[in-house]
Structures are given as structure tokens and as C-alpha cells.
Chain A
Amino acid sequence: MINRLLSGDRPRSRLLAGVLALILIGLAFAPFLFPGTKSLDTAARICIFIVLAASYDLLLGYTGVVSFAHTMFFGIGAYGTALALSSLGPSFTAIVLGTAGGTAIAAALALAIGLFSLRVKAIFFAMVTLAVASAFAVLVSQLSGLTGGEDGLTYKIPRALGPAFKLMDGKIFGVRINGRLLCYYLVFFSALVLFLGLLRVVNSPFGRTLKAVRDNAFRAEAIGYRVVWYRTTATVLSAAVAALAGALLAIWIRYTGPATTLSMEIMIDILLMVVIGGMGTMYGAVIGATLFILAQTYLQTLMASAEHATEALPLIPLLVAPERWLLWLGMLFILSVYFFPDGVVGRLRSRR
């Protein structure tokens, strides 16, 4: 049963299976295990970024294509939902229409970029995605009448997904059963389905062909595979899933702006999540996104307490001051890439 859900792609390492199970349980029961607004928000963002990183892995790890437009597709999904919710009002119809529209636009744009630039060298595709993504970010901030510019859009979501909506009186395990909880599970199950869907795709005949294209595109052509079409299809699929992740984010945080969806910083984050977790494994995206979001959220807190604890010592408090968190995050990445060149998943699998 589990094997079927995973499309036969098992973790192939006890430790990895354990870590993945832990993450799954942690996310599935997050509202009960880690009560509180901040931790629930962290859990939801982990779900969303797992999907986002996994869809990027389809491109980077499985197809060997480097794209800098992944956040653009993520943003298109988010803005689609956000625009529909703010113009049509907080209804499920608006969510469905906005999500479908955003995803379709993302897919169409990916198709155009793919057909235009994947024929040529891989580096050309990377440059084109960079250019298009930058242009798109400028466009969004310029069209402030529509998109709210740099301020972004704030909107309401359907009442059934808000904290004011009570499914029942009282609490279960000390947790209110309200619309916010419903919203979390909407995010969680959507993410789960999307991730398992991607896992199926990479284990399909198509997914196997992508690996062949990544390994040796020249030879893949010689045995009859039309490499451009495989790369383009992977790009479209990855863009569509990124847009769906964007829609989930738009619903969850009830705000959509350039900083939360389009920024180059997020693009780099996704890249690091996939590389640290392990490219071409899908599970790497789970590990990478979880580690990354946790570090991003809690490293500063951790460092603040370290600063307190070491107050009496010279120099050390300075080094562990919360303002230095980016420095430490960077160090962690360099170390992890150095010690786990195949990512955490590659490392765990080679141990056995």
C-alpha cells in the first residue's frame, strides 16, 4: 500500500525512511503536536516549500535543466489566486478560478520559454529564465493598480477557512477545531497529493526518460527520444506544480506580494533546498525544505538564547548574536555541500 503510494520509489535507507516518517507525522499532526500560531505557520510553509522544491527537483535533478524562473511560476499561481479572491470576493469559486487561471498561465509561459530556448544550449535556457523572471518582477511592481505593486495584495479567504469558523464547540487535545485548522489541512493534503503525484511522474516511463536526457542527451536522441519535447514537458509540469504551490501560499497567508513569491532570494532558497537535500531524489526536497524552513524560522531564536548563555565569555556572544544568523546559515550550507556532495539523501543512502 505504502509502496504503491510511493510509486515503488522507496527511501532505500532505514534512517532516511525514519526521518521522512518523522517529518510526515510532524506535519500531519502539527496543529496538535506544536500548538501555536507561529509553529502552525511554519508547518504550512514547510508543506508548501516541499512541493515547490520537489517541482524544482523535477527540472534540476531529473532533467538536468537549470531554471531561474521557478519563483516566477510560484508567483503567477499566488497572484492568480490572490487576484481572484480580491476581485471576486472570498469564495471557493474564486479560489478554484484563480488557481486554475494562474496554473494555466504558468504552464503556457513555461511552454513558450521551453520551446523558444530549450533547443539551444542549457546555459541559454538559464539566461532566458533569468531575464524573463526579472522582467516579470518589474512588471508586477509597475502594474500597481492591478497587483498592488511592492505592497502586494491583502484579501479575505472564504469564512470556512478562517479562525472565526467553528466546526464544533470546545477543543480536541486543547486545539480549537476551526476554519484555520481546516485551512491547514487543505494545505497539508494538497501538498501531499502533489508530492506523491510528482513521485509518480519521476518513476514513470517519462521520468526515466528524463534521467536519460540528463545523463546523455546526445545518446537519448540517437535512440529516438526527442529531447526538446521531454525537456519542455518537464518545464511545463514543474511550472504548473510551482503555480499550485503558489496558490496554496496565497490561501494560507492571505497576502501576496513580490517579497513572498517573486524574489530572487526565494529562488536561491529553493535551489539550496534541492541541492542540500539531494538532487534527483524527490525525498531530498522534503529534507531540504524542512531543514531550511526550520533553520530560517528558529535559528535566530536559538542564537538569541546562545547569546544569553555565553554573555560572560569574550567574543562568542558577538558571534552568536541573532543578527549574524545569515552568516551561520551560509556556513551551514557550505559545510553541508562540502560533506554531502550528493545531498543528505545521497549520504544516507550510501551509508545503509
Chain B
Amino acid sequence: MAIEAPVLTTQDLTIRFGGHVAVDQVSCAFERGTLTAIVGPNGAGKTTYFNLISGQLRAYSGTVTLNGEDITRLGVPERCDRGIGRAFQLTNLFPTLSVRENVRLVVQAQARRGFDLFSRADSHIELIERAEHVLAEVHLLDQADQPVSALPHGDQRKLEVAMMIALAPQVLMFDEPTAGMSVDEVPVILDLIRELKNDRDRTILLVEHKMDVIRSLADRIIVLHNGQLVADGDPAEVMKSPIVQEAYLGNAPEDGQEAPAKSASEEVARG
């Protein structure tokens, strides 16, 4: 079996905020068709690592490479064009627009129709149909006409996943997609991510705290701690390693309980 070059690589990726090194020389390669879970305690630098890959933050040093191209200096939309899709930890949608319009905008961006000034947006039926198709997949078609701001939190999280499905990027990054969701809503999100994973062309990065989720989805786990990559490997192996037991799980039992209580007040770098 020929070894394929990794889709995404970070090499010595580093960023500091003042004196604080939030991501510290992280080198990691992600293969096509794999799902990598990224774990670590609050403030470990997981979201910041994502921001460096999708371009919301610029690296202090080190590089990000996508399909052999150095994208470290590119802006957010340029990276999106090249196949990096990013879902956000804090809900980050278009609040006054309808649910359908949120997804339609993604489809429209994919179709490169944004600079069409003189046709009517509602005449591009194929874009609307594609958006509605995705909404049906995430069971939000009934709410299509509602403004996003009127949607309950769980549905907003589903919409966030719908935006990723519509964007259909090569690399998908999910930042705690199930955070703040009720227990019975979580499986819906997981099924959606699993379905994305079944498409072998996609490379998925998933920040998640729920151990059972990781166990059922991840091909690999990397552990960040104080901005450093401290463990990397097979899920079963990594979860057993002392560093994870100590640094991340505390003294949580082996049976896959949730990580120690975490606050929801994490910041996404906003422009």
C-alpha cells in the first residue's frame, strides 16, 4: 500500500499572546480519510490551534501546509477556498437571516456566485435546493424560514454542522460541536459527523471532551497541554497513558466519563 502524503501538516506551529505561549511548536500531520480527536483541558490551546490552521490567527512561527502548499500567510477566505472548513465552538451564525439563508450563503460561496450583482438570488433554484437538501439531512427543514436568532441552542449547533456539510471542505474542523447540547440531541450531531467521516476523502479534526464520543469516532487522539502536543496515537493507547490520566482526565475512571467540569466561556478569536 502506497503511503499517501498527509493532507494537512503543521510544523513547529507557535503563537504567543504577550508573554503567554498559547500554542507551542506543535508539529502534526493529518492523513486523508481520518478523524483525529484533539483533547486537553480548558485553556490548553485547542481553539487557538484551530484558529492558526483556518487563518483567524497568524502564526508567530512555524508553518501550516495543505496538500503540499504553504498556507501559513494566507487569509481566512483563501484558506477556505483551498478546502479548509471550520465550525466554531461558540455559535457563530448570521443571526438575523433565516436558517435556509444561512446554508444558502455557504452553498452560494461554494458556487462562487457572491459577486453576481444583477441576477435575482431567488432565481438560482439549484442553490436553494442544495441548501434545503442539507437542512433536511440535519432535520432542520421545518425551521428553514425562522431567523437563526429564534432557534434553540441545540438547533443552532445542528445548523453549524449543516454549514460544514454545505461547505463540503477537504479538511473539517469541529470545535466542541456538542457543547451545551442536551443529552438526547448529542447523537444526532455524532451521526452527522460519522456520516461525514464515511466519505473517505475528508479529513476531520474534532475537539471534544466526551470520552465515549471520542472512542466511537476517533482513529487517533492528540493531546494538547499548555499549548504543547504531549501525546499522540491510537485512542485506546493514548487514553491509557499516564500523561492523559493525569493532565486531562484527572483521576477519572476508565469507563469513559466526561472530563472534569468545564466552563462554557471559551473565547473564539473574533475579527
Contacts and interface: CB of A to CB of B under 8 A. Distances in A.
A323 interface: no
B259 interface: no
A217 B121 contact: no
A61 B86 CA distance: 28
A208 B108 contact: yes
Interface string A203-237: 11111110110011111111111110110010001
Contact of A200 (B97, B101, B118): B118
Interface stretch (B16-24, B72-80, B195-203): B72-80
A8 B80 CA distance: 31
A208 B105 contact: yes
A336 interface: no
Contact of B121 (A205, A215, A224): A205
Interface in A273-307: none
A263 interface: no
Contacts of B270: 218
Q: Helix, strand, loop or mixed for chain B's interface?
A: loop
Interface stretch (B37-45, B87-95, B234-242): B87-95
A223 B121 contact: no
Contacts of A220: 94, 105
Contacts of A226: 75, 77
Interface in B37-94: 54, 56, 75-77, 80-81, 86, 88, 92-94
A165 to B, nearest CB: 36
B194 interface: no
A201 interface: yes
A7 interface: yes
Contacts of A205: 108, 113-116, 119, 121, 124
Nearest to B122: A8
A223 B80 contact: yes
A230 B92 contact: no
Contacts of A218: 56, 92, 270-271
Interface string A226-254: 11011001000100000000000000000
A221 B75 contact: yes
B211 interface: no
A203 B118 contact: no
A221 B116 contact: no
Contacts of B167: 223-224
A330 B121 CA distance: 39
Given A203-B122, A205-B108, A208-B121, A219 B94 contact: yes
Among B86, B106, B110, the most chain A Cβ lie within 10 Å of the Cβ of B106
B36 to A, nearest CB: 20
B262 interface: no
Contacts of B76: 221-222
Given A215-B94, A223-B105, A223-B109, A204 B77 contact: no
Contacts of B108: 205, 208-209
B11 interface: no
Given A203-B120, A205-B114, A206-B117, A224 B95 contact: no
B57 to A, nearest CB: 12
B223 interface: no
Interface of A: 7-8, 200-201, 203-209, 211-212, 215-227, 229-230, 233, 237
22 contacts: A8-B122, A200-B118, A203-B120, A204-B116, A205-B113, A206-B117, A207-B117, A208-B105, A215-B95, A218-B56, A219-B88, A219-B92, A221-B75, A221-B80, A222-B76, A223-B105, A223-B163, A224-B109, A224-B167, A225-B109, A226-B77, A237-B117
Interface of B: 54, 56, 75-77, 80-81, 86, 88, 92-97, 101, 104-106, 108-110, 113-122, 124, 163, 167, 270-271
Given A215-B97, A224-B80, 7 more contacts: A201-B118, A205-B108, A211-B94, A218-B56, A222-B86, A223-B163, A226-B75
